């Protein structure tokens, strides 16, 4: 539904709803395809199924306990949420973090990024219909889950960062360092083999090539983030800005095709860059303490922080009142901004391809709290990222 067209002309009669429980989706969200003889004319993703009111329950909690909830915003990129929420207070109250802790945080983050990208590849392969590749990806992922388990003691929520450093339990000892390096060595070989085979497979690539095209202009206009945007040629990665990543040399994966194939390959190539970062971080891991307890909760003005989660830009911000309690917690996750661009990219394709396109932005919807507006004329509902978008699309009147 672009701005130039009058709204009446794009409303199509036939609707194909998917979800909330559907094999191609895994997570509860509804997709409505408005189809005209198998061709998708409009597509709408309804997100607010898993709304748990996180921002509301965080209000008034002591800041140390908030970490328990922010980590449980998402189970795939839990470390980036936990890390970003402690970055806010570290930035706001100028808490100094020991360098060893920064390195350990980066290690945990990159290991989780690899695990997340492997889930994505597995999921995309499953949607495409190649179950062997899907199972392979999940098998490869197990090694990274093991490493997170060794570091943090939990496979999904390792809880590595705390305010002022990392949990002392997450200290990386010499023996653990050796284990991680050996596992990386082994699994990198397997990964190269696996990715090579996925890319060379004519059946899989035939399903992905040239489908769901998203141009660079559209990616910027619809605010795609992370690998979804980088596969369309947007040269932006929040890791360029973060001081934690300054000591490492690695490449950013930027592709220009902008189709589903590029989105899969961008993530596959990023895995190898993550391995590079983990290797360097383990090699020059500084000595010293891992946590700085020398801080106390006090009044803090509104501070924000951005982080590059596996799926893209992640935003957290809050302020603290006089007793060190949280006020106005705000989270914006990457999927919320990316999903509109795949809605757009899915138009004009076959229904079967459109499902792949939706999956190709790596939707992770465990975190949704959106505005919903109802179009009175057609009775259709739409959900928006922010009030600004509503205003842009429909003007102030609505």
Q: Which residues bind ligand SF4 (CB under 6 A)?
A: 72, 75, 156
* Residues 6 or more apart whose Cβ sits within 8 Å of residue 398: 373, 390
Stretch that binds other proteins, among 22-30, 103-111, 273-281, 380-388 (CB under 8 A): 22-30
Taking the C-alpha atoms of residue 235 and residue 271, their distance in angstroms, rounded to an integer, is: 18
Does residue 63 bind other proteins (CB under 8 A)?
no
Q: How far is the CB of 154 from ligand SF4 (least distance, A)?
A: 9
Q: Is 334 in the site for other proteins (CB under 8 A)?
A: no
Q: Which of 2, 10, 38, 48 is nearest to 385 (CA)?
A: 48
- Nearer to ligand SF4 by Cβ, of 72 and 130: the residue is 72
The side-by-side arrangement of strands in the sheet containing 312-320 is: 300-309, 312-320, 326-332
Q: Which does residue 247 bind out of ligand SF4, other proteins, none, counting CB within 5 to 8 angstroms by kind?
A: none
16 forms part of the interface with other proteins (CB under 8 A) = no
Enclosing H/E stretch for 301: strand 300-309
- 289 interacts with, out of other proteins, ligand SF4, none, CB within 5 to 8 A per kind: none
Measured from the CB atom, the residue of 73 and 107 that comes closer to other proteins is 73
**Rounded distance between C-alpha atoms, residue 268 and residue 249, angstroms:** 19
Of 66-105, which residues contact other proteins (CB under 8 A)? Answer: 68-69, 72-76, 78
41: enclosing H helix or E strand: strand 39-46
138 binds other proteins (CB under 8 A): yes
Six-digit token pair at 251?
């490449």
Is residue 128 close enough to count as binding other proteins by CB under 8 A? no
Residue 385's alpha-carbon distances to 47, 81, 337, 344, in angstroms, are 10, 19, 7, 15
Q: Which residue has the tokens 């300054």?
A: 246
Token reading at 379: 């009775």
Residue 196 near other proteins by CB under 8 A: no
Binding site for other proteins (CB under 8 A): 20-23, 26-28, 48-54, 56-61, 65, 68-69, 72-76, 78, 119, 122, 126, 134-135, 138-139, 141-142, 154-157, 325-326, 364, 366
């Amino acid at each position: 539904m672009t701005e130039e067209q009058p709204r009446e002309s794009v409303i199509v009669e036939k609707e194909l709803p998917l979800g909330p429980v559907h094999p191609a989706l895994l997570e509860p969200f509804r997709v409505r395809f408005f189809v005209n003889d198998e061709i998708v004319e409009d597509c709408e993703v309804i997100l607010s199924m898993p709304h748990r009111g996180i921002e509301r329950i965080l209000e008034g909690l002591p800041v140390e306990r908030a970490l328990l909830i922010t980590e449980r915003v998402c189970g795939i990129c839990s470390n980036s949420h936990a890390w970003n929420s402690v970055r806010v207070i570290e930035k706001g109250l100028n808490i100094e973090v020991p360098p060893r802790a920064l390195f350990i945080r980066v290690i945990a983050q990159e290991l989780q990024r690899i695990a997340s990208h492997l889930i994505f590849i597995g999921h995309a392969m499953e949607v495409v219909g190649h179950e062997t590749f899907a199972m392979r990806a999940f098998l490869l992922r197990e090694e990274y889950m093991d490493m997170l388990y060794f570091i943090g003691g939990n496979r999904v929520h390792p809880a590595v960062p705390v305010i002022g450093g990392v949990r002392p339990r997450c200290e990386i000892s010499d023996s653990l360092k050796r284990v991680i390096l050996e596992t990386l060595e082994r699994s990198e070989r397997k990964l190269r083999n696996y990715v090579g085979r996925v890319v060379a497979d004519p059946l899989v690539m035939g399903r992905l090539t040239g489908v769901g095209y998203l141009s660079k202009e559209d990616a910027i206009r619809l605010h795609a983030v992370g690998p979804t945007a980088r596969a369309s040629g947007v040269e932006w990665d929040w890791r360029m800005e973060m001081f934690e990543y300054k000591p490492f040399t690695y490449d950013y994966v930027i592709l220009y095709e902008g189709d589903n194939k590029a989105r899969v390959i961008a993530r596959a190539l990023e895995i190898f860059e993550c391995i590079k970062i983990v290797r360097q971080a383990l090699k020059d891991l500084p000595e010293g303490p891992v946590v700085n307890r020398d801080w106390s909760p006090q009044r803090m003005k509104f501070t924000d922080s951005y982080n590059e989660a596996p799926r893209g830009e992640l935003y957290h911000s809050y302020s603290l009142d006089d007793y060190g309690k949280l006020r106005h917690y705000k989270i914006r996750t990457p999927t919320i901004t990316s999903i509109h661009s795949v809605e757009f990219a899915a138009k004009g394709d076959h229904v079967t391809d459109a499902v792949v396109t939706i999956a190709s932005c790596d939707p992770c919807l465990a975190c949704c709290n959106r505005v919903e507006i109802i179009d009175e004329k057609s009775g259709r509902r739409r959900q928006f990222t922010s009030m600004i978008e509503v205003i842009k699309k429909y003007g102030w009147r609505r």
